[in-house]
Amino acid sequence: MKNLLSIESLSAGEITEALDLAAVMKAGRGNHAEKPLRGQSWALIFSKSSTRTRVSFEVGIRELGGEVIFLSNADSQLGRGEPIKDTARVLGRLVHGAVIRTYAQSDVEEFAQFSRLPTINALTDQEHPCQIIADLFTIREKLGSLEGKTICFLGDGLCNVARSWIWAAIRLGFQLRIAAPPAYQPALPPGAPILCTDDIHAAVAGADVLYTDVWVSMGKEDETAYRTAQLGPYQIHRGLLRETAPLIMHCLPAYRGKEISEDIFEENAATIFDQAENRLHAQKAILTLLQ
């Protein structure tokens, strides 16, 4: 693996290799004999807020022997309009890898091209590949395997997390259902093993995992009122779980009373915070595979 720019750009074998190594990283945390990032400095370039991604990458890079430089938009000249390709060519001469959270997917791709550094997409408007690798790992940990499982994503089917789920289902072949109102249903590549429906009950029936994300992704704040009205019927709440007891997952941050009710969130907190912890193990696997 040269970069992690999207789930779309990975093969099934690369995803599986990352999941297998994440398990090794988790089991061996605190006892890593090898430090594959020793002597390296990695730049974290974030144009959007982050708690989990930033902290798990900073800790993970250090645990693998590397150093971290965190640059928000306010810190670097990117925030004053310096082009991505110039920033990339400078950093390409100074650091050993980059983790980027921004808006346009093309910016991460341009950075990888011009810097020639191992480059990781830490969330764009289009994909959130690190999240989905950690989530696949969490499902394997909780349910044993992904094979034959049905994952149901509820809410904004056009958001980055949903899009990464779509590519994971296409690459790995598990069943994905997306429960969303028509305006938030994605266009799917032909032949994708994915059901998109506005019928929330049909979508959740028999699913092994119910997964949700915020209704208002970063950058969409102007649409808050419209999204809240449109996506309101797609909340995960007790009434939906009468005939089924699936694993409930959330990538966080969570907005109780919006995409998930307070009681269901708290009853499933053990899974949800394992998901958050697994970001560390999954990303250490990715960082190692990029060496």
Which stretches of the chain bind ligand CP, using CB under 6 A? Answer: 50-53, 123, 131, 251-252
CB atoms within 10 A of CB 95: 18
> Least distance from C-beta 175 to ligand CP, angstroms?
24
Q: Is 213 in the site for ligand NVA (CB under 6 A)?
A: yes
Cα separations in angstroms, 233 against 115, 166, 209: 44, 22, 18
Would you list the DSSP string of 112-147?
Answer: HHHH-S-EEES--SS--HHHHHHHHHHHHHHHS-ST
Residues 103-132 that bind ligand NVA (CB under 6 A): 123
51 binds, among ligand NVA, ligand CP, none (CB under 5 to 8 A by kind): ligand CP
**Which is nearer to ligand CP, 78 or 214 (by Cβ)?**
214
Residue nearest ligand NVA, CB atom distance: 217
CB atoms within 10 A of CB 152: 27
Q: Give the H/E segment covering residue 212.
A: strand 209-212
Residues 254-273 that bind ligand NVA (CB under 6 A): none
* Residue 246: cis peptide before it, omega within 30 degrees of 0: no
> Least distance from C-beta 202 to ligand CP, angstroms?
28
**Of 161, 203, 240, 247, which lies in the binding site for ligand NVA, with binding defined by CB under 6 A?**
161
Q: How far apart are CA 128 and CA 112, in angstroms?
A: 16
> Least distance from C-beta 70 to ligand CP, angstroms?
13
Under 8 Å CB-to-CB from 277, ≥6 apart: which residues? none
Structure tokens given for 227: 């999204």
Q: Which of 163, 250, 251, 275 is catalytic?
A: 251
Note if 159 is an active site residue: no
Q: Which of 52, 54, 96, 101 is catalytic?
A: 101
Active site residues: 101, 128, 131, 213, 251, 279
